[in-house]
Amino acid sequence: MSGRHTLIRSLHDVGLAAWFGGSLMGAVGLNGAAEDEGPTVAARARIASAGWAKWVPVNAAAIGAHLFGGGGLLAVNAHRVRIQHGVGASTTAKTVVTAAALAATAYARVLGKKVELACSSAPEDNEKAGQHPIDLHKAQRQLACAQWAVPALTGCLVILNALHGEQQRPMEQFHGMWEHARSTAPLVR
C-alpha cells in the first residue's frame, strides 16, 4: 500500500465499530430495558421498536461509511490482494461475512417493522397489520435471533479486520509475496 489512506481506513473502521457496537447495545441494552419496563408483550415490543427505529438512520450511515471505506481499501490494496499469499482468502471471507451481516441487518429490520405494526396502537397501523397478519411470538423469536446475528457477524468482521492489519506488517507482506512467487514459479526455492 503506497501512501496514507487515513480517511478511507477511518470510514471503514468507525463505520464497523458503530455497526457492531450499536447492534450489540440494542440486543443487550435496549431489548433488555424494554423487557424490564414494558408491562405487556405489546408494550415491550413498542418500547424496543421505538428505540430501534431511532437507531436506523445512524446504523445506515455507519454501514454506508464501512462499505465505502472497505471499497476504498480494497481499491488501494488490490495489488496485495492479488499477489500476497493469504490476503485474497481473508478478503473473500470478509466479503462473505459482510454480505451475511448486511442480510441479517436487513432481515432484522423487516421483522422489526412487522412486530412494530402488529403491536402498534395507531389505527392506521392496526389496519395495515390486519391486512398482513403475523404470528407475533414466532416473529419476535426470529427477530431476537436476527438481532443477535448482527453483532456476531460484525464481531467476526472486527476479527478479520485485525487479521488484515497483521497481514500488512512488512515481514508478513514479504513472506506472503514470497509464497505467492513460489506457488506461481515452482522452481523458485
pLDDT at 117: 86
pLDDT (0 to 100) of residue 167: 78
Name which of 19, 24, 162, 179 is nearest 93 in CA terms.
162
Answer yes or no: are the C-beta atoms of 77 and 17 closer than 8 Å. no
Residue-level pLDDT at 165: 83
pLDDT in tens, 132-158: 677 888 999 999 999 999 999 999 999
Distance CA 172, CA 132 (A): 55
- Kind and range of the H or E element at 164? helix 136-167
Rg over CA atoms, the chain: 21
For 12-24, write each residue's pLDDT tens digit.
Answer: 999 999 999 999 9
Q: Which residue reads 455507519 in cell numbers?
A: 62
Which segments in the chain show pLDDT lower than 70?
A: 1-2, 121-132, 169-182, 184-189
Instruction: Map out the domains of the chain as residue ranges.
Output: 6-184
Contact indicator for 69, 12 with CB cutoff of 8 Å: yes
**Whose grid coordinates read 441494552?**
29
What is the reported pLDDT for 50? 93
Q: So what's the pLDDT on residue 185? A: 66
pLDDT attached to residue 80: 85
Q: Which pLDDT belongs to residue 127?
A: 64
> What pLDDT shows up at residue 1?
42
For position 173, what pLDDT does the model report? 57
CB 64 within 8 A of CB 12: no
What pLDDT is stored for residue 82 in this prediction?
Answer: 87
CB atoms within 10 A of CB 139: 17
Check: pTM over 0.75? Answer yes or no: yes
CA 2 to chain CA centroid, nearest Å = 28
Res 47: pLDDT: 93
